Chain A
Amino acid sequence: MTVPAASPAPAEPPSGERDAALVAAARSGDRGAFASLYERYARVVHAVLLSAGVKAEAEDLTQEVFVSAMRSLSSLKDPAAFGGWLLTSARNRAASFLRHKAAAPPLRLVGEAAPTTTTREGLNAEDVMSAIRSLPEAYRDTLVLRLVEGLTGPEIADRTGLTHGSVRVNLHRGMDMLRAKLAEVNP
């Protein structure tokens, strides 16, 4: 497979300016503005947490990251950099969570296991996620956003601040590597 050449980014809406306006409104107490930021970034935060290795707790942690961000919004120096600031916070939260989880004894689930969906090759979601998590960070974050959260390439670029070209490359190289990993799991 050949990777398509990175095309010049089309005219994008100024996401930084939009974020800055929402942050300013949220700082002044506008809860609707913060809800807009949440709608815009919740799936990205969730993807970062999943990609880092957080599993069932990812949704709760996503909400924790936002609550924490709302409380410390006044410390954000550049409101236009809200996205990067939030994702850094999510990565730190994931690392902290995984450290504590590793130290705690694992919980045993009791009861009947729910039926799982598998690929045509018989791989379940956890198999695929494990393969994705074994990829380099740039590829795994982009793939989770695309395959799990359902964002398109332009949406990923808009939320993460990457160029369209970078997202395209991450998607194609990530998919190639994922195919190879899955083939190793289920030859």
Chain B
Amino acid sequence: MNADYLWDRSGPVDEHIADLERVLAGHAFTGRVPAELMREPRRLPWRDRAIIAAGVLLVLASLTRYWIVRTPLVPRAPISWTIASSTGTYTAETPGPTKSPGGHETGQWVETSAGASVRLEALSGGIVTLNADTRALMVDMGNTTQRLELAHGSIYTEPSKSDTPIEVVTPVGIATIAPGTACLITYDKLKNGSVEVKRGRIEFRTQGPDTQVTRFGAGSTATIAFGRLYTPRRGDASPELIAALTAYESPPPPGAHRLGWTDIPPSVLQAAGTADEITLWNLMHRTDEDGRKRIIGRARELTKSMWKLDNDALLRLDDGAMETWWQMLESR
């Protein structure tokens, strides 16, 4: 066999291969490029394209006009809060010159009269009761946050199936009420009141450049006096601690730190027992570094597990360290 001929038909002709080529030549491909492959893609003439484009524009314009006509110029009434039930008399009014013709919806001020109460339900399931002589604004925050503004009076939140916190804007700060919390917040027209938490957790944060944090756990309470939220304590705190805190906080000493009373007296720390960690935790936010050193020292005397916490982080009020301490005290 002539290898060169087999490879590229070079060299002497190999008779046997040439014989096979001759016999098989009738099977070789002879087809031409199919016409379908060579046909140019069909294109519409310019006139037809212009007609189609005009039709599309007409449809779009019609849809836009329909949307404009159907969309009200006044935003729809928000539905974050609804008045579920009431006792006694109350008024509901829309801020501004336009009064709501009927129904009570988010965006309205609700004011209860003496002996009356109104039960509000949030879209997400939260339940708040406005007690007598209370004025509050139902604020629309969608279904992710339920917010009320408390001008004065008393509100009670009760545990519900909602897993969304309730925010209550008060003159002493914004209270974030955790789901499952039962609490009572009062604030009268003379700027006095109290916070009582039966179960759950509330955190108050003052507004402004220097935020002060005040946190309540189950069974804790605090007084509001002269528009100032005092340090939380257990509802059944010892008479010694109550007396020491009262002497310390009321009235504020001259030259007190504007966020609190910087110089924590030894009487308060000595009166605090092992069950008063909530008070110590909150005092940390109301004093300077020297005060915090003494608070931490007292907490270490009362609770051995305090060694788990980073001393320096606590001194600088590190959020993570303070949160860990809170979770430890809550679990005890």
Contacts and interface: CB of A to CB of B under 8 A. Distances in A.
B22 A70 contact: no
B29 interface: yes
Contact of B28 (A120, A148, A178): A148
- Interface residues of B toward A: which range? 20 to 34
B37 A31 contact: yes
A140 interface: no
The prevalent SS among residues of A at the interface is helix
Interface SS of chain B: helix
A59 B37 contact: no
A59 to B, nearest CB: 5
B18 to A, nearest CB: 10
Given A38-B37, A42-B29, A168-B7, 18 more contacts: A1-B1, A35-B38, A39-B33, A43-B28, A46-B31, A47-B29, A50-B27, A58-B27, A59-B30, A66-B37, A67-B34, A70-B37, A117-B22, A117-B26, A128-B20, A128-B23, A129-B24, A154-B8
B19 A119 contact: yes
Contacts of B22: 117
A125 B26 contact: yes
A59 B30 CA distance: 8
A30 to B, nearest CB: 10
A34 to B, nearest CB: 6
Contacts of A180: none
B41 interface: yes
Interface in B70-84: none
Contacts, number: 92
Contact of B29 (A35, A62, A70): A62
Interface in B28-72: 28-31, 33-34, 36-41
Given A31-B38, A152-B8, A63 B31 contact: yes
Interface in B138-158: none
A147 B8 contact: no
A130 to B, nearest CB: 12
A119 B37 contact: no
A74 interface: no
Interface in A129-187: 129, 146-150, 152-154, 168, 171-172, 175, 178-179
B17 interface: yes
A29 interface: yes
B24 A128 contact: yes
Given A31-B37, A128-B23, A175-B1, A59 B8 contact: no
A146 to B, nearest CB: 7
Nearest to B29: A46
15 contacts: A39-B33, A42-B31, A42-B33, A62-B31, A67-B34, A117-B23, A118-B23, A128-B20, A147-B17, A147-B20, A147-B24, A150-B25, A152-B7, A154-B8, A172-B6
B41 A125 contact: no
B3 interface: yes
B46 to A, nearest CB: 18
Contacts of A8: none
Given A63-B34, A117-B22, A172-B6, A29 B17 contact: no
Nearest to A44: B29
A29 B6 contact: no
